[in-house]
Amino acid sequence: MATLDSITAAATPVCTLIGVLGGGWLVTRQVNRQAQAEERVAEVQADAVEAQAEASVETAEATAANSAAEALQAGFVALYAEHRAERTELRERISALEAGQARQAEKLDRMAEDHRRWRDAAIRYIRILRAQLASLGAAHPAPEDPIRADLEP
C-alpha cells in the first residue's frame, strides 16, 4: 500500500496538472469557438445588411422606374385625351363649316335658279317685244353680241 501511496502522491499532481491543462485547453477551445461563431454571426449580419442595402437600392430603382413608367403613361394618356378632344373639336368645326357651306351652296343654287328664271323671262319678254315691233312694221335695234344667240329663235 505504501507503493500505492507513493504512486498516488506522485500521480495526483500529474493528474491535477493534466486536468488543469485539459480544462485550460477546453476553455481556450470554447473561447475560440465562441469567437469564431461571433465572427461568423458578424459576417452574416454584415452580409445581411449589405444584401438589405442592395435590396433597398434595387427597390428604390424599381420604385423610381415604376413611377417613371407611371408618369410616362399618365403623360401619354393626357396627350391622347388632349388629341382626342382636339379631334372632336375639329370634327365639330368641320361639321359646322360643312353645314354653313351647304347653306351657302343652297343659297347660291336658289340665286342661280332665280337668275335663270329672270333671264328666261327677260328673253321671252324681249322676243315678244320684237315680235310686236315686227308686226307693227317698225325696225328694231340689233341686239348686242353677248345676247344675240339667246334672242334668235
- Confidence band for 153, pLDDT divided at 50, 70 and 90: low
- CA 61 vs. chain centroid, Å, equals 21
When divided into structural domains, the chain yields a total of 1
Tell me which residue has cell 458578424: 42
Consecutive H or E run containing 74: helix 2-136
State the chain's mean pLDDT as an integer.
86
pLDDT > 90? residue 131: no
Q: In the chain, what percentage of residues exceed pLDDT 70?
A: 95
pLDDT digits (tens, 9 = 90+) for 92-103: 999 988 888 888
Distance CA 117, CA 26 (A): 132
Structural domain containing residue 115: 2-151
The predicted model gives 99-112 an average pLDDT of 90
Q: What is the pTM of this model?
A: 0.41
Render the burial of 57-68: b for 16+ CB within 10 Å, e for the rest.
Answer: eeeeeeeeeeee
Question: Could you give the CA distance from residue 9 to residue 1 in angstroms, rounded to a whole number?
Answer: 12
